[in-house]
Amino acid sequence: MATKDQNQELTIDDLKTEMKLTDEQLNTVIKEPDLPELAACFDNVHKGYLEKLELLPGEQTDVRTRAYVDGTLAGMLLALKYWILTNGLDATFQALLLIILSLLKENVAVQVCKYLSDKCSTSCPPSRERVLLNHKLSSYRDYLQSRYISTSATQWSPVPTNKVFKLAMIQKEKIQRGRIDDEYFRLSITGKIDDILLQKTPVNLINIFSEIRDRRRNFVLIEGAPGSGKSTLALHICQEWAKGKLFQEFDIAILVRLRDPLVRDASTISDILPCTNKAMANETETAIMSLYGKGVLWVLDGWDELPSYLPRDSIINKLIRPDMSRESPLHESAVIVTSRPSSSAELHPLVSSRVEVLGFTPHQLEQYFTECLEGDSQAVQTLLERIRENPMVEGSCYLPLNASIVVNCFLSDNHSLPTSNHGIFTSVVQNSLKRYLQDRLGKTTPVGDITSPDSMPSEIRTQTVQMCQLAYHGIEKNKGTFSDSDLAALHITKEISNIGLLQTVPSIISDGHLVYYCFLHLSIQELLAAIHISLMSSKTQISVFQKLFGNPRFSAVFQFYAGITKLSTSRPILSLLPRFLCPVPATVFDLVRKIVKTEKEKAVWYGEPKPLLLSLINCLYEAEDLQLCVFVANLLNHNIDLDNTTMNPIDCLSVGYFASACSNTSNGFTLSLHSCSIGDQGCKFLARGLSKCSHSHSQISLNLSKNDFQEEGIHHIAEIIENTSSISELNLSHNPIGSSGLSTLCEALSTNTSLKGLDLSNCSLSLDDHGAIPRLLNTNTILESLDLSYNVIGNTELKNLCEALSTNTSIKSLDLGICSLTISDDNGAALYQLLNTNNSIEHLYLYGNTVTSCRHIAAGLAVNKTLRILHLNSCKLTDQSIEELSTGLISKIKTLYIWGNDSITEDGMKTLARHLTTHCSELTVLWIPGHLRFCIETVFRDANKERKRNGLPEINVLCTRDLIDQ
């Protein structure tokens, strides 16, 4: 029998020729397979052949050649034919395989393959080698089970017995911004860089493998924000497996903490296996590789903690890369990887499915507190009330880690809570030191101020100072784990691990010895590093921050530094003086200038996020320095542009505080938060921050467009309007506020005395006899600009709106563009009434609606004395419409837009031009359809000459091409 080189692709024609098979044989279809008959065929086949055949969909491999084919139907057909060709199988086996080939066309091959696989496992006695391999893995399984069950999660006490892991399977469909209707999206979206803007469906942990759609490989990515419980979940998976409650289809589950320094340097499987000694690791590696990783579940925790320089050929990369099926002997392993979403994009094309760990909902948070406080309902309610009074704490408690810290602070500090992010983690450090003094040393000595070690007891002073030094070293080198060599290089004693902040974690084996590495929680590390910097001289502090400026953790450290020092080294009064009068040495103001300059340069690129500026504003909130806020506002020319910068609730609180602090100056203030995904919660915290400017003498222009908030968010926006007298412009466009939200907003505006501009465009409003807007215009005498474009306005609402405006004396600009209106002889009277009776509107937008008759508009224009600009572009105007409109152009109109009306012809332009030679004395700008551009040099050139002879100003005639050029 002729064969081809194994690297050369075999075609169907090649196989048909070699096997002497006809198309009729290959196309044989068996509708209802008879499994007993197949079993009889199976029993007549030599068992050696079956050991060479892995009848699993997706990867069909010949043991001798390791020939690989993909998991498509064509690939499976080709694989089976390849075995027939290369193995010289007897006629019985050929017949069996041909039957399977025919069944593939009926999509039942998986059932048959499973039957044959099970039959093989029961009828073929295992070889002596397989028995030895299973024995080795059995011993290793016992070791892992014992290890996991005895390991406790790294959490701040108290730890509840019922762990809350709310998971959602991430789908591929994107959420449409402004139309969020996915429950699991709303539960997890907070407006941060780690938010996942895709649809999600609920999933139980036990089903994360069974619900995989792509069966090429069992590879699940678990994502979640920092503190959402990913590491706890990774350990929980292995513990539940060890107890026989989860994933029992796997013989062994191997947890690998990717932050482990030895893991990063690993080059073989044995290097990453948790074992008691090297010999055990080597034996286990041999067994796993001999089985091609079958029956092994790898739980790789912390992909985001791997360094970017990790070599492509590292063992960790080989575990997850798609080409590992050809190169690695572990291609049958299952893999779970945890990561922050901001660091996992490169894994998305490789994984079979993505799962998100959601944060606590308010109900789950209350359940969590109830268990932590042992069912004391009064204490739970007290805690919840304290949290609601404290926006900084409330905004962070959706993360399980932060919630556990807060409840621990509540228990340890006589039911009091910190008031800032700095205070939350300072409390963690102080309580850890307190436990060390009491439990380890039996002393009740007060801990003192950790930011001033001289005030601390001698028993903990040295360890605290050294811990701060180690943390600063970690920030410099961007690392969170430390080895004994790191401690020795910094002349730090191992005793610092006694105080409970530096967690000693058993590592993988090294040279046959069990070793440990030290892990310092990243937020604690950033706090302690900030303390270390704050103890330096003022000049050194700033030079250190100048050096750390490009460090990825600069912002977090600087924010803690602001909370510790209150930026007191800045000497704000002196800094406001000219440098030649007061040559102040380099201070924090120089650093602030650098941050502002860096973010201003980004403004050159439209829509560039500005996370560093946002971090600075968070620092100002921590420092509570009003003079420094004013200093920053002056540097920014009182224009804060954070467009497209994702913001969480705490960010919104800080920005609101900053605006309230700066709005008490005589200058105006612009705050733009377009497309920041702040959501309903963000609106709540922004309102809290802005509420401080209720007695402001300044005017704030606030842009909140495209931020995904709905009726609940509008409720908080209404609070801003009711509690402040400083908001002069408010843009709420592209937010689905709904009818109820609109009513709430209008009710708040009915008594407002500061808002002059309101943009409600594209807010998914259906205004037909709703009444909220007309009622507002009947009571509010301050509003000057109203934009209702891209909503749906019915005839009834148009009539009510025009009636309300007939007596309103404040509205100067009204935008009704693309509101699904049809202006005809039947309903045009409402617009006539508006133009005839209103004495304030100067700018009217009607673009994008359908205008079938201009008679009423023309009649209104003929008597109107205030309208200056009229937009009728893209209104389906015709030559007849232009003739009707011309009769009314005797008013004080200065600019007229009629571009985008493709039905207008040259005759229509001639009609308009003839009328303009003697009328509309103040018209200076006319926009015409682009297809009539030639009329500018012909029809309107002559009209302008005639206007000049009649003593009228020349009209600047433009078309849509000019609009694009502008």
User: With contact defined as beta carbons under 8 Å apart, do 113 and 120 qualify?
Assistant: no
Residue 730 is predicted with a pLDDT of: 95
Nearest partner of 635 among 607, 594, 604, 605, judged by Cα: 594
Tally of residues, the chain: 966
At residue 280, what are phi and psi to the nearest 5 degrees?
A: -60, -40
β-pair partners for 355? 169, 222
- Alpha helices by DSSP H, listed for 200-257, are 230-242
Task: Please state whether 58 falls in left (phi above 0), alpha (psi between -120 and 50) or beta.
Answer: left
Closest of 717, 624, 722 to residue 673, by C-alpha: 717
Q: What is the pLDDT of residue 959?
A: 87
Task: Report which secondary-structure segment, H or E, holds 886.
Answer: helix 879-886
Provide DSSP, 7-52.
Answer: TSPPPHHHHHHHHT--HHHHT---SS--HHHHHHHHHTS-HHHHHT
Tokens representing 772 are 């909220």
In 3D space, the residue among 891, 942, 885 whose CA is nearest the CA of residue 908 turns out to be 885
E strands in 45-91:
none
Residue 53 has pLDDT above 90, yes or no: no
Distance CA 495, CA 583 (A): 45
Residue whose C-alpha is closest to residue 358's, from 396, 299, 411, 399: 399
DSSP 845: E
Question: What is the pLDDT, as a whole number, of residue 224?
Answer: 87
**Strand arrangement, sheet containing 503-510:** 481-482, 513-519, 503-510
Query: How far is Cα 456 from Cα 449, in angstroms, rounded to an integer?
Result: 6
Is residue 241 pLDDT above 70, yes or no? yes
How many angstroms separate the CA atoms of 31 and 824, rounded? 66
Look at 345-349, 755-759, 855-859 and tell me which has the smallest mean pLDDT.
345-349
pLDDT of residue 45: 38
Question: To the nearest whole percent, how much of the chain has pLDDT over 90?
Answer: 27
Evaluate whether 364 touches 399 at the Cβ level (below 8 Å): no
Using only C-alpha atoms, what is the Rg of the chain? 36
Query: What pLDDT was estimated at residue 336?
Result: 94
In a 3-state reduction of DSSP, which class is residue 815? strand
Separation CA 319–CA 269 (nearest Å): 10
| β partners of residue 200 | 170
Q: Any idea which of 142-156, 227-241, 308-322, 446-460 has the lowest mean pLDDT?
A: 308-322
Q: What is the mean pLDDT of residues 430-450?
A: 85
pLDDT in tens, 302-338: 888 877 666 566 777 777 764 444 445 577 788 999 9
Q: In this predicted structure, what is the pLDDT of residue 661?
A: 83
pLDDT tops 80 at residue 258: yes
Q: What is the pLDDT of residue 38?
A: 38
Largest Cα span, the chain:
112
CA atoms of 157 and 497, how far apart (whole Å): 17
Contacts of 275 (CB under 8 A, 6+ apart): 140, 143, 281, 284, 508, 509
Residue 300 bridge partners (DSSP): 256, 337
Q: Give helix 421-435 / helix 522-534 axis angle, nearest 10°.
A: 90
Say which residue, 512 or 719, is predicted with more confidence.
719
Mapped onto helix, strand or coil, the DSSP state of residue 145 is helix
- pLDDT value at 280 more than 50: yes
Which pair of structure tokens corresponds to residue 228?
């959402």
Residues 629-675: tens digit of each pLDDT? 888 888 888 888 999 888 888 889 999 989 888 876 667 789 999 98
Q: Which of 49, 13, 215, 24 is closest to 101 using CA atoms? A: 24
Q: Which of residues 777 and 49 earns the better pLDDT score? A: 777
The C-alpha atoms of residue 787 and residue 782 are separated, in whole angstroms, by: 15
Half-sphere exposure of 278 (CA within 13 A, CB side): 6
At residue 603, the pLDDT reads 65
As to burial, measured by CB atoms within 10 angstroms (0-12 exposed, 13-18 middle, 19+ buried), residue 626 is middle
Signed CA dihedral, 278, 279, 280, 282: sign only: positive
Give the mean pLDDT of 577-605.
64
Lowest pLDDT segment from 312-316, 761-765, 892-896: 312-316
Does pLDDT of 178 surpass 70? no
Which residue type is seen at 752? N
> What 8-state DSSP symbol labels residue 175?
P
Residue 250, CA distances (Å) to 204, 214, 245, 294 in order: 18, 19, 12, 8
* 183-195 average pLDDT score: 67
Q: How far is CA 700 from CA 632, 660, 727, 735, 904, in A?
A: 16, 9, 5, 20, 44
Quick one: three-class SS letters along 691-707? Answer: HHHCCCCCCEEEECCCC
What totals of helices (H) and strands (E) does the chain contain, helices first? 40, 26
Over 80: is that where the pLDDT of 32 sits? Answer: no
Which residue, 568, 570, 569, 545, is CA-closest to 558?
545
Candidate from 95-99, 250-254, 578-582, 946-950 with smallest mean pLDDT: 578-582
Where would I find the H helices in 691-762? 711-723, 738-749
Mean pLDDT of 934-959: 93
What does pTM read for this prediction?
Answer: 0.70
| Cα 669-675-677 angle, rounded to 5 deg | 110
Residue 818 has pLDDT above 90, yes or no: yes
Poorest-confidence range of 100-109, 136-145, 191-200, 244-253?
100-109
Cβ neighbours of residue 420 closer than 8 Å, sequence gap 6 or more: 392, 563, 621, 622
Percentage of the chain beyond pLDDT 70 is: 75
**Is the omega angle on the peptide bond into residue 158 within 30 degrees of 0, that is, cis?**
yes
- The Cα 635–Cα 885 span in angstroms is 50
pLDDT at 434 over 60: yes
The CA distances from residue 641 to 353, 596, 609, 635, 724, in Å, are 37, 11, 9, 13, 21
CA distance 465 to 910: 86
Q: How far is CA 828 from the centre of its chain?
A: 47
The whole-chain average pLDDT of the chain stands at 78
**Quick check: 343 pLDDT over 60?**
yes
DSSP state of 158: P
Distance (Å, whole) CA 887 – CA 854: 10
pLDDT, position 792: 92
The contacts of residue 361 (CB under 8 Å, 6+ apart) are: 166, 187, 398
SS3 727: strand
- Give the confidence band of 870 by pLDDT, cuts at 50, 70, 90: very high
Using DSSP bridges, classify how beta strands 513-519 and 503-510 pair: parallel, antiparallel or unpaired.
antiparallel
Element holding 819 (H helix, E strand) = none
302 and 258 Cβ atoms separated by less than 8 Å: yes
Q: Which one-letter DSSP state was computed for residue 455?
A: G
Instruction: Tell me the CA distances in angstroms from 757 to 712, 748, 798, 935, one per residue in order.
Output: 22, 14, 20, 37
> Which pair of tokens denotes residue 460?
């903990």
More confident residue, 238 or 213: 238
Give pLDDT tens digits for 364-415. 888 889 988 888 999 999 999 988 888 778 878 888 888 888 888 888 777 8
Which DSSP helix (H) or strand (E) runs through 134? helix 128-149
Q: Which of 596-600, 735-739, 876-880 has the highest mean pLDDT?
A: 876-880
CA dist., res. 495 & res. 462, Å (int): 10
Confidence of residue 8 (pLDDT cuts 50, 70, 90): very low
**10/594 Cα distance (integer angstroms):** 64
Three-state secondary structure call for residue 954: coil
DSSP type of residue 204: -
The pLDDT of residue 282 is 87
Tell me the mean pLDDT in the region 723-750: 89
Backbone angles phi, psi at 727, to 5 degrees: -75, 115
